Amino acid sequence: TWGSQHRAFSHRSASKMAQLRVQASNIQNDFIYLSHNRKVPKRMSSIMEMKEIFLSADAVCFDVDSTVIKEEGIDELAKFCGVGDAVAEMTRRAMGGSVTFKAALTARLGLIRPSYEQVQKLISEHPPQLTPGIRELVNRLHQRGVQVFLISGGFQSIVEHVASQLNIPTANIYANRLKFYFNGEYAGFDETQPTAESGGKGQVISYLKEQFQFKKVVMIGDGATDMEACPPADCFIGFGG
């Protein structure tokens, strides 16, 4: 969870995502982070502003790992490939913002070196588990005509599997792409993707606002790369897991 130094809205109740679905006023609050960069104490009037933004948003963007799904995808891939402990520590540092995201991603993948076959076996044998309430929340957003996007520092193939369970089109996924040699061995990742960079999620949201003329966009996630996407997001909601 995020303390005051992170200037985030923390969501801790048992129903988690379902409370966002039912009513923004049901959410328990520590801090919220609005696009005008103002830290707002608990239960003040700006909490109402956050609720209004969420309820009137044109688009809601979700982080995936430890938000839409229970796991950190890269940690699960590392465990599957036998290097789980070392990579989990790198993931913790990356989420805290102490190293650049690309540097952490490069180092972690350099340890894992997953083959195409290993990635596919991970998805089929250990599919990612949806966070309780996320399916209902996404359904409710779709019913309201809200566009839902998945913006992830994780991997396209895993995120596509998640999106298919939530009726989110592949076109609404922004994630990192692994590269493989013709024999299926690991060949790196696509470093041109914005999600491979620190600040990349903000770049994606800026693009979405320009491309689709969204007036209000909410970002929901659990990491430093999610928080730094506001602005351009109009509101950031920190998910406590």
- The mean-pLDDT minimum among 70-74, 133-137, 147-151 falls in 70-74
Is the model more confident about 23 or about 188?
Answer: 188
User: Residues with catalytic annotation?
Assistant: 63, 65
Q: Of 174, 91, 160, 89, which is closest to residue 119 (Cα–Cα)?
A: 160
- The mean-pLDDT minimum among 90-104, 165-179, 225-239 falls in 90-104
Residue 10's pLDDT is 37
Residue 235's pLDDT is 82
154, amino acid identity = G
Most confident of 85-89, 162-166, 196-200: 162-166
Domains within the chain, CATH numbers bracketed:
49-71+129-238 (3.40.50.1000)
Tens digits of residue pLDDT in 91-113: 666 656 567 778 888 888 988 99
Tens digits of residue pLDDT in 117-141: 999 999 998 888 898 888 888 998 9
Mean pLDDT across the chain, nearest whole number? 77
46 pLDDT more than 60: yes
Residue 177 has phi, psi (to 5 degrees) of -115, 125
Cα separation, 39 vs 137, in Å, equals 27
Residue 53's pLDDT is 78
| DSSP letters for 110-143 | HHH---HHHHHHHHHHSPPPBPTTHHHHHHHHHH
pTM of the model: 0.75
With a pLDDT cut of 90, the percent of the chain lying above it is 25
34 pLDDT more than 60: no
33 pLDDT more than 80: no
Cα separation, 140 vs 149, in Å, equals 14
Spatial contact of 228 and 202, defined as CB atoms under 8 Å apart: yes
